[in-house]
Structure 1
Amino acid sequence: MNLRKIVTNVEDLHAEGGRPVDPVARTAVVLAVIENPWAGAGFVEDLAPLIDEVAPRLGELLAPRVAEALERPIEAYGKAAIVGLDGEIEHGSALIHTLKFGDHFRKVAEATTLLPAVEKRAPAGTVFDIPLKHVTDATIRSHHQTVEVRVPDAPRADEIVIGLAAAAQGRPQARLAPLASER
C-alpha cells in the first residue's frame, strides 16, 4: 500500500436551528489517500490478491484513528471510497466492501450493523458525503445523517481516497418519530 497522506477532520456543532446543542455534537472523519493499486494495469479480472493485501492494512490504520479523533463513544458510522479518474469505482468498492476492512471499524465501534458507504469516481477536490447509521440498529432514524468532506488535492487520477466517519450522537435536534410508529 502506497500511502500519500492522511487527513483528519473533526467538527463540533454548538448550535442548530437557533438552539444550543447540549452536549455539543461531534463528528470525525479520517481519510487515507493511497495509490490505486490497479491503476494503469488495464482491466483486472481478479481483484482479490490486492484486496487481501491492502484492505486489512487500511482498516487497521483508519479505525483507531477515527475513534481517537472522535474522543467519545461511537454511535453512528460510515465509510467512503473516492476513486481517481484513471480507476474504476470497483477499485474503491473492492477495498471497503470486505470484512477485512470493515471489521476493524466494527470492533473499535462495538458495532453490529453494516457500514453505510459512498463510492464514486471523481477528480481531486470533489466534495462527497459519507452516510452514517447507528452502530447497532440501522432503523434508529436520529442517527441517519451525512458528513461532508473533501481533500483539495485528492484523489489524483491514479489514487483512491478511503475514509471512515463517526459521530458521537444522532443528528442535532432530531425529533422524528421512531420507524415503529408508522406501522
Structure 2
Amino acid sequence: MFSSNPSPEARAAGIRKIVYLQEEVLLENGTAPAVPALKATAAAVVANPWLGTGPDTDLSEQAKLIAPQIARELTGRLLAGLGGAEAIEAFGKAAIVGTAGEIEHAGALIHTPYFGNLVREFLDGTSIICFADDRAEAGQPLVVPLWHKTQAATRSHYQTATARVADGPLPHEIVVIAAASTGPRPHARIGDRTTDRPVTAKILAGATA
C-alpha cells in the first residue's frame, strides 16, 4: 500500500517537495470522449548532488543512491491517483535541471536503469519510456511525452502531459517527473502503426501522378 508520507530513504535522497497534477477531459470538440481517461504528472524537487563538479565527474554512484527513491515516490503517487497499475495504460518521464547545473545532471536521474527500469516495473510496463529534459528557471513548464506502456506502436496513446512546479527547480535543484494516463487521446482515430500501409516518397509520387 502506498503512503503519502515519504520514506526516510526518500528524505535522505534530498527530495524537497512533490507536486502531483491530474486532469480529466470531459468534452473534446463538444463531445464526451468514448473512452474517459485520467492523465497525471508527479514531480519531485530534489537537491542537485553534482552541483559544482566538473564535466569529468562520474555521476553513476549518486544516481544509484537517489534515482530509485525518486522512482518509488513518484510512481506511488501515480498509482494512488490513477487507480493502480492495472488502470494505467501509458507512461513517460522527464527532468528539469536548475540553471546552476548541467543538462547531464537531469539525464543522470532519468536515463539510467535506477529510474527507468523501476518506473516500468512499478507501473507494469514493458515499453521503452519516452522522455523530455531541459534546463530552466523555477516555474518553467515541461511537456512530457507519453505512449502505451506495453504496446509502443499503439498510436492512440501518443499524447503529452504538462508538468510545472511553481518554485522549482531552483538553480541548485532538479525536478524529476513521472507521468501516466489511463487511456488514449480523446476520440483517437488515426490508425495504428502495426496496420499502416507502406508509405514512401516514391509510393506517394506514384499515387499522385
- The structural deviation recorded for 1:44 is 4.6
Greater alpha carbon shift after TM alignment, 163-172 vs 15-24: 15-24
Secondary structure of 1:14's counterpart equals: coil
Partner residue of 1:52? 64
Partner residue of 1:111? 125
Q: Distance in 2 between matches of 1:38 and 1:45?
A: 8
* TM score, norm. by length of structure 1: 0.95
Partner residue of 2:144? 130
Q: How many residues align?
A: 183
Partner residue of 1:13? 25
Matches within 5 A, 1:96-175: 96-175=110-189
Q: Deviations over 1:67-120 (max 9, x none)?
A: 111125110000011000001110010110111112222122211001111111
Identical residues among aligned pairs (%) = 40
Out of 29, 40, 49, the residue aligned to residue 41 of structure 2 is 29
Aligned pair 1:182/2:197, yes or no?
yes
Matched-pair contact (CA < 8 Å) for 2:96–2:135: yes
- The structural deviation recorded for 1:36 is 0.6
Q: Distance in 2 between matches of 1:181 and 1:52?
A: 41
Secondary structure of 2:196's counterpart equals: helix
Gaps of 5+ in 2: 1-12, 199-209
Matched-pair contact (CA < 8 Å) for 2:89–2:183: yes
Runs of 4+ residues over 3 Å off in structure 1 = none
Which of the pair has more CA radius of gyration? 2
- The structural deviation recorded for 1:182 is 2.5
* TM score, norm. by length of structure 2: 0.83
Q: Distance in 2 between matches of 1:53 and 1:112?
A: 24
Matched-pair contact (CA < 8 Å) for 1:116–1:133: yes
Q: Distance in 1 between matches of 2:33 and 2:191?
A: 19
Q: Distance in 2 between matches of 1:54 and 1:78?
A: 19
Q: Distance in 1 between matches of 2:165 and 2:56?
A: 27
Secondary structure of 2:45's counterpart equals: strand
